[in-house]
């Protein structure tokens, strides 16, 4: 179909469509609304039939020929891709070729439902991709040339005739025929990475950033002749070509050709050596490369160096980035400016880290984890996924094993188990005799949480209250509930924005859970900051807002992600198209035919009646129930409950059903005017269906005349990201479209756009590392597995102060938490000195336990998460003590030992760093008590260039993810330590008796721990001072501007 026919179709369509603006004009029309809609459906069907009937035999023959050619081309590409994969494997690089499958027609819906790999997505968006499959970016280039005036498209006179040059086709914003895309359009690109962990996923046309050359456009992956050959390769190539010449001669001789003909053919064959026609892998060695287009040249990046590339993501996806020039200094200048910006921001980040660590509250006690928390956890009727288990542990660490208040974001798809994480945190607050609150954005979601909490927690004696709209402080119910909360008679309160009221007082609030953070506005979040001061906060979301996402990616905010889907869950098939009654009818009819129900969502309450009329005219006998936010008290919740009971086939609603509605019988959702919704809202709405083993369908229907480039980008992203667990990816794409906004009060989105968000965050991370003299991360807790339970602080061995020593319960609990989580041995000494002054001499039993606390203060500071004993592999068969420290590197240990009094590692304490974490690429061993040239070891770190640092950092990040949680380990085994950096104390079991092992370990760790504590303290103080100084300068600058402006105003 030509573009002209699209325009004709749209004109006719717009003339018939009844909108609020032209509805008054339809009053004079003799046809009823129902008849007009039926006519529209009939016309569309007749048009499709007429188009099919016009297809001639010649057209079919041409189509068959094109398919045959395409099949041959696909076969050739598959062979090249197979060769590329083989070469990549030899280079130690993993590559997944995501080919576009052959052009198979989807004949019916049932066929696509059975095979998940062939599910189709209907997409009808303004797009740069035309029906002939031309590359959209070439069209963008033409448009840019046209807009910039580089190419003249004005009419001219040639040989007496008027010639009108063809202008570049503009972005299609008119109605177009629905394009059938594969469920995963990613299958046009590649996924490449290394065994260590770095990875890159790109598709033709994607903008990428090369560390050295700048912003380019990925074109394809291809094979190119290898330019630099080793001596062995050159020798093998020469021998192979001689063999080929002999083979050619023998072949020509067997064909009875003349000598002249043989020589001529042989010369032609020899000329092909080293060209594309030379397919012999030895004669013509090839390497797989990624072809990247720049404004002035093409760059071929070898596959093993793909770590130098990252996808370009910036603040405004509607504005395509300008391709960099390989020649010149423009890219290097841009990087230098960004580096200066990240250096300043790094100081702010470190200052924030330091300030955050100064915030303290009494931690939750570990004594309830073994019995009470385990009993509650056993009530979960499903088997937790791996990601859920990680979230459970992360939240426990924050609440029990940190002194600073928890501020953790749990990101997971709808139905993936975020609520269970919140429930366990709420119950932990209850057993520790502290109140908890759960804040929800809507009354429907609050009612759902209240129902679930009552079902799960009331058997344990938890008193739960529900506070929502209509329960004001002057109402009888609202007044009574507020009094119960203030007096502590309510353990957990669930509510909407009413929880943020200034009139609400808590008895002892210990935890606040915020569900769907993105639904709260600026004012609500400012109020949250006041409420949350000094208490633990757990935030749940499926799609974090860009600023929250950036803070989590930069490490400013703790984040856990749940990506593992529940069993039997299927991805929802998404259709993006222009709104027509025919699509609505087909969608609803399909669901009714399989005995299900539908959601129908509109953006405004005023549109509900019109939508209801449309549905009624398509299905006269259908039952419809409405739900929206302005219904009488509890009206929306009651209607949703009636719908869930099966009293209607369609629930017509606004976004009030975005959260908290879980009805397994509803597996189709239709969203009208989808261009008016944000990406997060659309993603949440899509998550309302497909929550059982039935296939879910989501229809995002838009109006062409209201579609903007950003709304088109949102819909395109949702059609691309359909796999289970893609909520974090949706948030990342939203970050691309909307930008990161303001972080730490400083606008950084402009700088990120210059080099791309990924490279910007990497540069920021490197700046933070350079500012820290000793960037050794600490751990929250250490699992000590020594004989007879020595050194353990877990449930059965948890630290406690005798009641006879401190009689007051609240004071005793507070002091236990202070001692258990003391950040250094110096703090412990100060604390015990205070105890002696206030309560008298320490009991002998308490003194013995304090040694264990000193050990844990040291291990946490040195990043040691696991301590245990293993038999050595040598001939002596000693029992060595292994201290696993996943984050430590030779540079860390060199800086620490260089500062020690004797400038060497403590005798008996050896460090072993496996090859994957070593700067030399080989296992690195530093023996205790031995002199080393520490500066030489540090040179490995200082000599790292930008590319080497990038790949090492990516490998390190991915490797850290593989570490088995130390707290899950019950018995020490070699597999838990042999692949990670570790300290080794030889023959600890043989040379030390029972009860003396803690003293021996502590003696070796005290010196290095003090060095680390001193360096980190100085780094924090320096960062805070630098940040405060810059703030003062900015205030002085702003004050001068205001004074100058006032002076100008005064002088007229």
- Point out the least confidently predicted range of 187-196, 240-249, 289-298, 825-834: 187-196
pLDDT digits (tens, 9 = 90+) for 210-255: 888 889 998 888 888 887 788 888 888 888 888 888 888 888 777 7
Q: Does the pLDDT at position 406 exceed 80?
A: yes
Mean pLDDT of 298-313: 82
Share of the chain above pLDDT 70, in %: 72
pLDDT digits (tens, 9 = 90+) for 617-667: 899 888 998 888 788 777 788 888 888 888 889 999 888 877 767 788 888
Query: Which helix (H) or strand (E) is 699 found in, with range?
Result: strand 697-702
pLDDT score of 822: 87
pLDDT score of 309: 85
pLDDT grade for 731, boundaries at 50, 70 and 90: low
CA distance 816 to 798: 10
449-to-494, 634, 637, 832 alpha-carbon distances in Å: 7, 15, 12, 45
Mean pLDDT of 530-534: 73
Q: In terms of C-beta density within 10 A (0-12 exposed, 13-18 middle, 19 or more buried), how is residue 474 classed?
A: exposed
CA distance 851 to 791: 8
pLDDT score of 983: 95
Is residue 911 within 8 Å of residue 983, measured between CB atoms? yes
- Point out the least confidently predicted range of 435-444, 515-524, 825-834: 515-524
CA distance 445 to 627: 13
Q: Does the pLDDT at position 265 exceed 60?
A: yes
Q: Does the pLDDT at position 19 exceed 50?
A: no
- Point out the least confidently predicted range of 348-352, 511-515, 680-684: 348-352
Six token digits for residue 830: 């100060």
Query: Which helix (H) or strand (E) is 140 found in, with range?
Result: helix 136-148
pLDDT digits (tens, 9 = 90+) for 946-997: 555 555 565 555 555 556 678 888 888 888 888 889 999 987 765 567 778 8
Q: pTM for the full model?
A: 0.69
pLDDT grade for 146, boundaries at 50, 70 and 90: very low
Pairing of strands 464-467, 509-515: unpaired
3 state DSSP class of 666:
strand
Closest CA to 192 of 281, 300, 302: 302
pLDDT score of 177: 35
Six token digits for residue 299: 């760059």
Q: Does the pLDDT at position 113 exceed 50?
A: no
Rg (CA), the chain: 34
Write the DSSP assignment of 14-80 as a string of letters.
HHH---TTTGGGGGG-SS-HHHHHHHHHHHHHHHHHHHHHT--HHHHHHHHHHHHHHHHHHHHHHHH
Q: Any idea what the Cα angle at residue 767 is, between residues 764 and 771, rounded to 5°?
A: 140
Q: Does the pLDDT at position 773 exceed 70?
A: no
Q: Which residue has the higher pLDDT, 963 or 197?
A: 963
Q: Does the pLDDT at position 10 exceed 50?
A: no
> Helix H segments across 149-189?
none
pLDDT score of 905: 92
CA distance 542 to 680: 8
pLDDT grade for 358, boundaries at 50, 70 and 90: confident
415-to-57, 495, 665, 725, 865 alpha-carbon distances in Å: 51, 21, 15, 10, 32
Q: Which residue has the tokens 């639904």?
A: 519
pLDDT digits (tens, 9 = 90+) for 93-112: 666 665 443 333 333 333 33
Pairing of strands 697-702, 573-578: parallel
Six token digits for residue 770: 């350079």
847-to-191, 365, 654, 853, 1005 alpha-carbon distances in Å: 57, 20, 63, 10, 19
1016-to-85, 592, 864, 1007 alpha-carbon distances in Å: 46, 64, 17, 15
Mean pLDDT of 303-309: 81
Q: Does the pLDDT at position 340 exceed 70?
A: yes
pLDDT grade for 431, boundaries at 50, 70 and 90: very high
Q: Which residue has the higher pLDDT, 166 or 833?
A: 833
pLDDT digits (tens, 9 = 90+) for 458-517: 889 999 999 876 777 778 888 888 888 888 899 999 988 888 887 788 888 899 998 877
pLDDT score of 99: 46
> Helix H segments across 217-329?
231-254, 259-271
Q: Does the pLDDT at position 259 exceed 50?
A: yes
Strand order in the sheet with 982-985: 783-785, 866-871, 879-884, 982-985, 909-913, 924-926
Q: Does the pLDDT at position 1023 exceed 80?
A: no
Q: Does the pLDDT at position 69 exceed 70?
A: yes
Q: Does the pLDDT at position 132 exceed 50?
A: no
Mean pLDDT of 291-310: 86
Is residue 284 within 8 Å of residue 273, measured between CB atoms? yes
pLDDT grade for 185, boundaries at 50, 70 and 90: very low
């Amino acid at each position: 179909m030509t573009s002209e026919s699209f325009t004709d179709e749209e004109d006719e369509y717009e003339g018939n469509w009844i909108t609020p603006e032209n509805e008054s004009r339809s009053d004079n029309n003799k046809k009823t609304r129902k008849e007009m809609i039926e006519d529209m459906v009939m016309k569309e069907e007749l048009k499709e039939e007429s188009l099919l009937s016009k297809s001639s035999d010649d057209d079919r023959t041409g189509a068959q020929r094109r398919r045959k050619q395409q099949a041959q081309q696909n076969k050739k590409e598959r062979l090249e891709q197979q060769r590329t994969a083989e070469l990549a494997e030899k280079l130690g690089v993993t590559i997944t070729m995501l080919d576009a499958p052959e052009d198979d027609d989807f004949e019916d819906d049932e066929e696509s439902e059975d095979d998940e790999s062939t599910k189709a997505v209907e997409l009808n968006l303004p797009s740069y991709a035309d029906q002939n499959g031309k590359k959209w970016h070439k069209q963008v280039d033409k448009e840019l040339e046209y807009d910039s005036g580089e190419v003249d498209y004005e009419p001219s006179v040639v040989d007496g005739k008027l010639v009108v040059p063809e202008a570049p086709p503009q972005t299609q914003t008119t109605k177009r025929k629905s394009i059938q895309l594969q469920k995963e359009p990613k299958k046009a690109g590649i996924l490449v990475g290394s065994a260590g962990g770095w990875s890159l996923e790109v598709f033709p046309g994607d903008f990428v950033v090369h560390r050295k050359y700048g912003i380019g456009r990925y074109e394809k992956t291809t094979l190119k002749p290898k330019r630099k050959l080793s001596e062995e390769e050159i020798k093998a190539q020469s021998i192979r070509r001689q063999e080929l010449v002999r083979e050619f001669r023998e072949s020509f001789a067997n064909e009875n050709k003349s000598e002249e003909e043989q020589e001529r053919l042989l010369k032609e064959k020899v000329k092909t050596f080293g060209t594309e026609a030379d397919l012999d892998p030895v004669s013509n060695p090839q390497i797989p490369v990624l072809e990247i287009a720049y404004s002035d040249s093409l760059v071929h990046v070898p596959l093993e160096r793909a770590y130098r590339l990252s996808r370009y993501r910036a603040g405004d996806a509607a504005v395509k980035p300008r391709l960099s020039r390989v020649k010149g200094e423009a890219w290097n200048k841009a990087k230098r400016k960004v580096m200066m910006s990240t250096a300043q921001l790094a100081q702010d980040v470190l200052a924030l880290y330091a300030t955050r660590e100064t915030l303290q509250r009494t931690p939750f006690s570990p004594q309830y984890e073994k019995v009470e928390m385990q009993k509650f956890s056993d009530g979960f009727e499903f088997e937790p996924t791996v990601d859920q288990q990680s979230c459970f542990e992360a939240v426990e660490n924050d609440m029990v094993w940190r002194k600073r208040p928890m501020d953790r974001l749990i990101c997971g798809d709808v139905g993936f188990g975020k609520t269970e994480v919140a429930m366990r945190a709420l119950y932990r607050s209850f057993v520790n005799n502290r109140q908890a609150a759960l804040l929800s954005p809507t009354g429907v979601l609050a009612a759902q949480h209240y129902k679930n909490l009552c079902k799960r927690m009331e058997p344990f004696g938890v008193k739960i209250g529900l506070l929502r709209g209509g329960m004001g402080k002057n109402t009888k119910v609202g007044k009574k509930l507020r009094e119960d909360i203030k007096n502590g008679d309510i353990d957990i309160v669930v509510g909407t924005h009413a929880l943020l009221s200034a009139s609400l007082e808590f008895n002892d609030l210990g935890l606040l859970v915020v569900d769907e953070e993105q639904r709260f506005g600026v004012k609500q979040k400012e109020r949250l900051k006041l409420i949350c001061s000094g208490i633990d906060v757990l935030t749940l979301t499926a799609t974090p807002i860009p600023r929250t996402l950036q803070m989590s990616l930069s490490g400013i905010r703790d984040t856990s992600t749940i990506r593992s889907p529940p069993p039997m869950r299927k991805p929802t098939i998404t259709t993006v198209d222009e709104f027509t009654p025919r699509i609505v009818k087909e969608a609803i009819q399909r669901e009714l035919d399989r005995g299900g129900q539908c959601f129908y969502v509109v953006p405004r309450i005023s549109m509900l009646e019109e939508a209801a009329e449309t549905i009624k005219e398509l299905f006269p006998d259908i039952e419809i129930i409405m739900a929206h936010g302005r219904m009488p008290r509890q009206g929306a919740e009651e209607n949703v409950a009636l719908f869930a009971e099966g009293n209607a086939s369609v629930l017509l609603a606004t976004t009030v059903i975005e959260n908290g509605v879980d009805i397994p019988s509803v597996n189709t959702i239709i969203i009208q005017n989808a261009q008016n919704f944000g990406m997060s809202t659309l993603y949440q709405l899509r998550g309302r269906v497909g929550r059982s083993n039935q296939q879910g369908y989501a229809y995002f229907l838009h109006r062409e005349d209201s579609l903007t480039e950003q709304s088109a980008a949102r819909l395109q992203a949702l059609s691309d990201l359909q796999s289970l667990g893609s909520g974090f990816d949706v948030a990342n794409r939203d970050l691309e479209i909307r930008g990161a906004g303001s972080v730490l009060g400083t606008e950084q989105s402009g700088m990120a756009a210059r080099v791309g968000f990924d490279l910007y965050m990497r540069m920021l991370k490197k700046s933070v590392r350079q500012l820290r003299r000793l960037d050794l991360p600490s751990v929250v807790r250490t699992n000590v597995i020594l004989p007879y339970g020595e050194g353990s602080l877990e449930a059965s061995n948890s630290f406690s102060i005798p009641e006879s020593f401190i009689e007051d319960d609240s004071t005793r609990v507070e002091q236990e938490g202070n001692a258990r989580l003391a950040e250094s041995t110096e703090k412990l000494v100060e604390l015990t000195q205070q105890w002696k002054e206030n309560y008298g001499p320490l009991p002998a039993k308490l003194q013995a336990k304090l040694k264990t606390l000193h050990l844990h203060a040291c291990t946490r500071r040195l990043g040691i998460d696991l301590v245990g004993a293993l038999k050595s592999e040598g001939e002596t068969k000693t029992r060595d003590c292994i201290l696993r420290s996943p984050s430590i590197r030779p540079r860390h240990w060199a800086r620490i030992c260089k500062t020690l009094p004797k400038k060497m590692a403590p005798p008996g304490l050896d460090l072993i760093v496996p090859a994957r974490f070593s700067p030399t690429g080989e296992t690195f061993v530093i023996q205790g008590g031995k002199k080393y040239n520490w500066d030489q070891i540090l040179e490995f770190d200082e000599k790292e260039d930008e590319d080497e640092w990038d790949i090492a950092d990516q490998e390190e990040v991915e490797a850290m993810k593989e570490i088995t949680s130390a707290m899950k380990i019950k018995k020490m085994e070699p597999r838990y330590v042999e692949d990670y950096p570790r300290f080794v104390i030889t023959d600890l079991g043989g040379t030390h008796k029972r009860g003396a092992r803690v003293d021996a370990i502590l003696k070796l760790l005290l010196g290095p721990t003090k060095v680390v504590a001193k360096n980190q303290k100085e780094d924090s103080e320096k960062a805070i001072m630098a940040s405060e100084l810059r703030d003062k300068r900015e205030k002085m600058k702003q004050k001068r501007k205001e004074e100058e402006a006032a002076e100008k105003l005064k002088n007229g």
